[in-house]
């Protein structure tokens, strides 16, 4: 494409809320054969709400207060859900020390003299905490309903399972269908629970799902798609997406996402909705056609 047609193309995209960092990204987008999308915050609102507290023989309010206190230091959308739920219930959020976040796993800290950990099942595995069979069964049941189960450990013991539900973005289903109609392979790549991810993928019409992947696993997923299909675009919003955004032939960040994701991307979808993604694909094809 000529420099002029690229300038016109990126200018038009910007008016539609899609910022191309440079013209070569517009050219590369035309070559893309597969689009991989992160789930939380990309295909879903990323504003999950606490729906369940399963805490046999424990005080649910106390558990929520401890967990929410640890989450006050996390940027994860799941953290915001738990902090909001505690605030709505008027629960105290005491002081926190020894905070630690492990990307794609969860968070830990010390609150009111107790060791608190919350996150995916592998977070507790990593801490060497034995999992309770009853709570695991509850987590499976909640995931089957499309919710994300979070495991809580208190003082090294598996104490509770919380669940959060995150609504799918209203335009996501249509955007996925539109991308597929343009001949693109559409895949979901997520750190979330497999059953939760498959439930969400099913309702979006996505058949290729990589679930329970760590940030490095998202890079692997991009490479695997490239090996099978050709050039790959990755769309994401989180810190955990930054490596995959950098690895992809075209990395597209959700503009409402974290700074690190935006900085790692070639393209920014300013409004955070997926409609402009389809428009950007169309534009990349149109601009390249114009100059023939």
* Residue 237 is a binding residue for Mg ion (CB under 5 A): yes
* Residue 40 is a binding residue for ligand ADP (CB under 6 A): yes
* Residue 28 is a binding residue for ligand ADP (CB under 6 A): no
The residue nearest ligand ADP at its CB is 191
Using CB under 6 A, pick the residue from 28, 105, 110, 158 that binds ligand ADP: 105
| Active site positions, annotated | 38
Give the nearest distance from C-beta 84 to ligand ADP in angstroms. Answer: 13
Give the nearest distance from C-beta 254 to ligand ADP in angstroms. Answer: 11
Size of the site for ligand ADP (CB under 6 A): 23
* Residue 195 is a binding residue for ligand ADP (CB under 6 A): no
* Residue 118 is a binding residue for ligand ADP (CB under 6 A): yes
Go through the chain and tell me how many residues it has. 292
Long-range contacts of 168-174 (CB under 8 A, 24+ apart): 168/43, 168/44, 168/45, 168/200, 168/203, 168/204, 169/43, 169/44, 169/45, 169/273, 169/274, 171/273, 171/274, 171/275, 172/43, 172/44, 172/204, 172/274, 173/203, 173/204, 173/205, 174/275
Residue with tokens 């960040």: 253
* Residue 190 is a binding residue for ligand ADP (CB under 6 A): yes
The answer for residues whose C-beta is within 8 angstroms of residue 29's C-beta and 6 or more apart is 233, 250, 267, 280, 281, 284
* Residue 38 is a binding residue for Mg ion (CB under 5 A): yes
Return residues touching ligand ADP (CB under 6 A).
Answer: 38-41, 71, 74, 76, 78-79, 104-107, 118-120, 148, 150, 190-192, 238, 240
């Amino acid at each position: 494409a000529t420099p002029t047609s690229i300038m016109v193309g990126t200018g038009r995209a910007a008016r539609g809320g899609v910022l191309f960092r440079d013209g070569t990204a517009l050219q590369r987008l035309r070559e893309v054969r597969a689009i991989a999308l992160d789930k939380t915050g990309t295909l879903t609102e990323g504003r999950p709400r606490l729906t369940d507290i399963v805490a046999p023989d424990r005080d649910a309010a106390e558990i929520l207060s401890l967990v929410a206190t640890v989450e006050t230091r996390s940027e994860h959308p799941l953290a915001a859900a738990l902090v909001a739920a505690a605030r709505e219930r008027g629960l105290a959020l005491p002081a926190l020390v020894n905070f630690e976040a492990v990307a794609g796993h969860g968070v830990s800290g010390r609150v009111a003299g107790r060791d608190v950990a919350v996150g995916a099942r592998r977070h507790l595995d990593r801490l060497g905490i034995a999992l309770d069979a009853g709570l695991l069964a509850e987590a499976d049941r909640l995931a089957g309903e499309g919710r994300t189960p979070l495991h809580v450990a208190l003082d090294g013991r598996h104490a509770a399972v919380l669940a959060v539900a995150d609504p799918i973005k209203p335009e996501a289903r249509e955007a996925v269908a539109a991308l597929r109609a343009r001949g693109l392979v559409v895949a979901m790549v997520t750190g979330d629970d497999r059953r939760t991810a498959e439930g969400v993928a099913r309702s979006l019409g996505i058949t290729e799902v990589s679930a329970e992947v760590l940030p490095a696993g998202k890079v692997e997923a991009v490479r695997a798609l490239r090996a099978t299909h050709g050039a790959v675009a990755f769309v994401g919003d989180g810190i955990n997406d930054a490596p995959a955004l950098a690895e992809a032939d075209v990395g597209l960040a959700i503009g409402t996402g974290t700074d690190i994701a935006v900085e790692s991307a070639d393209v920014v979808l300013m409004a955070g909705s997926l409609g402009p993604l389809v428009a950007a694909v169309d534009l990349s094809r149109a601009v390249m056609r114009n100059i023939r």
